[in-house]
Structure 1
């Protein structure tokens, strides 16, 4: 393609030279022409010049643009992303870019380059291997401490005088744009020098304004995309040999984007002054370009937040491995909290050094919110076995809040973690009860359970008067005392009666309809289902005592006493349910 372009350029130059000779030879004849003939000759010659210029213009603009596009890409790929001092010449160029939005600076006009009093340094050359990228024959490496190629060691006296007159005779740490300071890297400063070359074109060649505008937008878009590839895409680890991409690299990339975002409105206004009303609609491309830069910058800030998110995840894994039932040797907060606070403070220090206060506050606020949210979830799931473990966790939360609240230019985080820990309950894990086989029953435990059972049955107090026994009735029927092992057949199914024939009430209790009568033991004997057994010595093998209780009652009849069998029932003891009572 370049071969055909060279042929076209050579043919245009040859045609212009031959046409000029023909017109020069016929100069005397042309002066004798009438008005109509001269008008025809002039229009033909002018059309030829315009068409030749159009062909040459496209070729020249393309060559001019491609050379600077290649330079820009190479500079960004080789950038080490370290801050450099801003040479006075670069600062002066930036001031001229700002001034061009109001008027055409005399320093941008080509006639000013031949003026020995002009403060403008020579324009950047077209080829990548031009002397503009070399100092004393040695190529310049990005972010190197050597002076800028636009201000070499043998700077002319008139440039030094201009720098002194502007009060910037020494390199500065910041690039100033309308009282705003920015940190800059070498690649960004070089691209600004290339940008000034495009501004010279529109000042000196008004017919190339539209072509130059599309080229300058393409240059700035390429710088934006290439910066994204080498920083967010970690391309600098391959192209520039970086070991990793740090928060410092991200912060400096954000500063480079901020420089371009600040200059785009001035460049847009410069083109607006040189465009017609109909052509002014093309300026919307600059607005789109600025939004692209801002979106890229937001992605960088989100990456800074994500870096701390990854570190927080690593510290949470360490938190999950903490033994809260074992005190930390040496005391103090736990290791995960010390490292988390240290890294958060380091991030704040780096951002505060290179970024504006508004961006620092935004990023750190998001980091604080992420820390509180993630740690509160983890703290809620921790089981604290003792008050000492709760104090340790509370010390971690207070340490975090104290250190982060001390950071400057950032709103202090909330005390949410401290509140979460203070509201946590201590999980007392009591040992499981010992099996009943291993526990020796207390003496007379059988009698204690029977006495306690009587209280649960809620038997109302009796008001029945004590009966008077007739001399003719055997008193043993009222209070029968059976042998330790009676024969069930020997027990009379008929309940004892008084002398007048009325049934005797149950001993030590009473029955009513719907209620269960429970008799207390007599003469230290255990009574159950009408059987009286002599107390026996308890051994360790006894685990529980089953006491059968019958609670059924026929409607309209008295409930039978559990001490004596009912006449209609089997004299054998019946068990309708067992209550197992432990020793």
Structure 2
């Protein structure tokens, strides 16, 4: 659909060049096309309309990322489209069209930001779902027969899911968008997991070792996420969970 839109826009640019007298009408049509594409994309992806239209079982993070990609691409084209199409527009008629195009540009930016917010929300919901299982997992830690040297199912699950999200998004999104999304994800991980771990009742030495191991496992994962300038600390993506580890166990996870 993005390629079809690009072809249509290219044809309108050609019309504007060949028939300058139609430039005003061409810009109006381009504005309408851009509006429709943005609205329809929003309905299909954020509004989950594609589930009815094409029979998708769900709207995945990959679908959201692809929608963000095309919306960002079109958004980046609008200044060039404006520059070319406005060459033949009389000054007296430019103001109205410029304000219309400005609104469309803003709509695309808002749409892209909403998609990114949804991606962060998905990760937050997955984390909360895993956190709800944590008390039951921790119950086994205080048992005398608990000699498991691996991170808990909770730690494995949350790191697996955020790593998967990173892998999917990094194949599609620009680095600047990845950074914006994962800065929020890292913040959520630090705050929610630290809060949950702080409330746990761990008394036995093996339980404390399990908790320490989980924190370290999660922090190793957090270090790898693209959240540049998340913290002023020299350690990458340093946050509340690091402080919890240092305070509770007197240790740290480096780069």
Q: Considering the TM-score relative to the shorter chain, is it more than 0.5?
A: yes
Higher relative contact order, chain-length normalized (CA < 8 Å, sep 6+) = 2
Change (3 A) 1:321 1:245: same
Distance across 2 between alignment mates of 1:398 and 1:292: 42
Change (3 A) 1:359 1:408: closer
Q: Which has the higher helix share?
A: 2
Residue in structure 2 matched with residue 423 of structure 1 by the alignment: 247
Do residues 363 (structure 1) and 177 (structure 2) align? no
Answer yes or no: is the 8 Å Cα contact 1:198–1:216 preserved in 2.
yes
Change (3 A) 1:409 1:370: closer
1:378 to 187, 193, 196: 196
Asked which structure has the greater CA Rg, the reply is 1
Deviation at 1:206, TM superposition (A): 2.4
Distance across 1 between alignment mates of 2:205 and 2:89: 77
Answer yes or no: is the 8 Å Cα contact 2:134–2:154 preserved in 1.
yes
Distance across 1 between alignment mates of 2:58 and 2:203: 43
Answer yes or no: is the 8 Å Cα contact 1:231–1:250 preserved in 2.
yes
Change (3 A) 1:295 1:398: same
Deviation at 1:317, TM superposition (A): 0.8
Distance across 2 between alignment mates of 1:415 and 1:387: 25
Deviation at 1:331, TM superposition (A): 2.8
1:348 to 166, 184, 187: 166
1:312 to 121, 127, 133: 127
Runs (5+) with no aligned partner, structure 1? 1-186, 426-583
Answer yes or no: is the 8 Å Cα contact 2:182–2:225 preserved in 1.
no
Deviation at 1:403, TM superposition (A): 2.4
1:294 to 105, 109, 112: 109
Deviation at 1:364, TM superposition (A): 1.0
Answer yes or no: is the 8 Å Cα contact 1:365–1:410 preserved in 2.
yes
Distance across 2 between alignment mates of 1:248 and 1:318: 26
TM-score by length of 1: 0.39
Change (3 A) 1:192 1:231: same
1:383-418 deviation digits (Å, cap 9, x = unpaired): 112222111101100111112213467563225324
Do residues 218 (structure 1) and 32 (structure 2) align? yes
Secondary structure, aligned partner of 2:3? helix
1:273 to 87, 98, 112: 87
Answer yes or no: is the 8 Å Cα contact 2:68–2:115 preserved in 1.
yes
Distance across 2 between alignment mates of 1:320 and 1:365: 27
Distance across 1 between alignment mates of 2:200 and 2:90: 70
Residue in structure 1 matched with residue 47 of structure 2 by the alignment: 233
Answer yes or no: is the 8 Å Cα contact 2:180–2:227 preserved in 1.
no
Runs (5+) with no aligned partner, structure 2? 230-235, 250-255
Residue in structure 2 matched with residue 331 of structure 1 by the alignment: 149
TM-score by length of 2: 0.87
Distance across 2 between alignment mates of 1:188 and 1:375: 39
Residue in structure 1 matched with residue 59 of structure 2 by the alignment: 245
Query: After the TM superposition, which of the residue ranges 280-289 and 309-318 deviates more from structure 2?
Result: 280-289
Change (3 A) 1:348 1:328: farther
1:353-405 deviation digits (Å, cap 9, x = unpaired): 11111111111111011011011111111111222211110110011111221
Distance across 1 between alignment mates of 2:46 and 2:223: 30
Do residues 191 (structure 1) and 191 (structure 2) align? no
Distance across 2 between alignment mates of 1:196 and 1:413: 43
Count of residues in Structure 1 that have an aligned counterpart in Structure 2 = 239
The Cα RMSD (Å) is 1.9
